[in-house]
Amino acid sequence: MTKKTALITGVTGQDGAYLAELLLTKGYSVHGIKRRTSLINTDRIDHLYHDPHEQGLDFTLHHGDLTDSSSIIRIVEQVQPDEIYNLAAQSHVAVSFEEPEYTANSDALGPLRILEAMRILGLEKKSRFYQASTSELYGLVQETPQKETTPFYPRSPYAVAKLYAYWITINYREAYGIYACNGILFNHESPLRGETFVTRKITRALARIKLGLQDRVHLGNLDAKRDWGHARDYVEMQWLMLQQDKAEDYVIATGEQHSVRDFIKYAAEEVGMKVRWEGQGVEEKGYNAETGKCIVAIDPRYFRPTEVETLLGDASKAKRQLGWAPQTSFSDLVGEMMREDLKLAERDELVKKHGFRFFNRHE
């Protein structure tokens, strides 16, 4: 069998790292697009990457940006991919209220630029396209649980940009016969999750609180409910979606819902802490039940102008048609994230013990 070639945008992100690893184990030649950054930010994929002058895994990085058509066309032409996974995005919902235009440029026009590159280069029949769509499309939910047919009601510049991306993917499928799919993925987390998303912010902070490196964590809406799965399970699904006879769109979710407050409870228990809640609204605080110290406080700066209060997915179609089911339970997910953040906190503790200063830049 000839070796397949995959191109991953957003390869330096959480999903990009898991997907690159998965495709390499499946024997793909993997190409990733990374942005130019003033500091090297390939921590998540360094274990996969080798100096191009040495023998190693079949993994190549290209400099490019979803806001720059010329770089997209050049890379797609050079790589001639069998599969393109568009994972790149300004993916932070709260940040999208602060940078709405940039978010639209990268998250809405970015996928359009890739689809156009495929057309310009005559790759409509050669390359398959995966678009990282999102449960944020459901926003103000119209039906519970949410499935492929549930109407969308986006609630942020991020979600509105992703709505354009969702429809342009379907339009290019219908108009030009491109094999193009949307994975409507509900929240998925891991030890590789960015530190400013709520799950990782909590596990990282609790690990540091446990070791005395930090007093407390400031959060926003503790009542928001999400359907949280593991990124490792979800990238398997991204690959499966491109291996079918016909391109279709799929919801990927666990079918289980927890609040942010719940997440804190599970995470705290992992490090032997119990949280006692007192107060109401912005005055609410979480205390370490044993020491009486405040470890969680509300900071209204983390509230969003329009919030997505509740999301719960129904992945029956993926289960039925693709034989896919998530492998990791909620408590296993929280446990894995806590253990990995404890290791990182122990490293920071050592650094501190030897007299070096570090700053907590991750709120």
Q: What is the size of the binding site for ligand GDR (CB under 6 A)?
A: 22
Q: What angle do CA 241, 242, 243 make, to 5 degrees?
A: 95
Question: What's the full length of the chain, in residues?
Answer: 363
> Is 306 a catalytic site residue?
no
CA distances from 185 to 148, 157, 159, 215, 285 (A): 11, 18, 13, 34, 32
Interface pick for ligand NDP out of 5, 6, 7, 13 (rule CB under 6 A):
13
Helices (H), the chain: 14-25, 69-79, 93-98, 100-104, 110-120, 157-176, 198-210, 231-241, 260-270, 316-322, 330-353
Is residue 304 close enough to count as binding ligand GDR by CB under 6 A? yes
Q: Which among 49-57, 64-72, 129-137, 280-288 is the span making contact with ligand GDR, rule CB under 6 A? A: 129-137
Torsion of CA 238, 241, 242, 246, to 10 degrees: -160
**Rule CB under 6 A: which of 204-263 touch ligand GDR?**
219-221, 224, 226, 260
Active-site residue identified among 28, 138, 158, 172? 158
> Is 158 a catalytic site residue?
yes
Interacting partner of 146 out of ligand GDR, ligand NDP, none (Cβ under 5 to 8 A depending on kind): none
Block residue for tokens 């209060």? 309
DSSP label at residue 3: P
**Other Cβ atoms closer than 10 A to 45:** 23
Q: Which among 59-67, 174-182, 255-263, 308-316 is the span making contact with ligand NDP, rule CB under 6 A? A: 59-67
- Tokens at 307, concatenated: 């919030």
Q: Provide the mask over 19-38, with x wherever binding to ligand NDP is found by CB under 6 A and - wherever it is not.
A: --------------x-x-x-
Is residue 131 close enough to count as binding ligand GDR by CB under 6 A? no
Closest by CA to 336, choosing from 187, 189, 201, 186, is: 189
- Tokens at 231, concatenated: 């990124």
Q: Provide the mask over 75-114, with x wherever binding to ligand NDP is found by CB under 6 A and - wherever it is not.
A: ------------xxxxx--------------x--------
> Is 199 a catalytic site residue?
no
Q: What angle do CA 258, 264, 268 make, to 5 degrees?
A: 130
Active-site residue identified among 21, 83, 136, 270? 136
Interface pick for ligand NDP out of 5, 6, 7, 12 (rule CB under 6 A):
12
Is residue 307 close enough to count as binding ligand GDR by CB under 6 A? yes
Closest by CA to 262, choosing from 224, 231, 216, is: 224
Supply the minimum distance, in Å, between the C-beta of residue 345 and ligand NDP: 21
Query: Which parts of this chain interact with ligand NDP (CB under 6 A)?
Result: 9-10, 12-16, 33, 35, 37, 41, 65-67, 87-91, 106, 132, 134, 185, 187-188, 194
Binding site for ligand GDR (CB under 6 A): 91, 93-94, 134-136, 186-187, 196-198, 201, 219-221, 224, 226, 260, 302, 304, 307-308
Residues classed as catalytic: 134, 136, 158
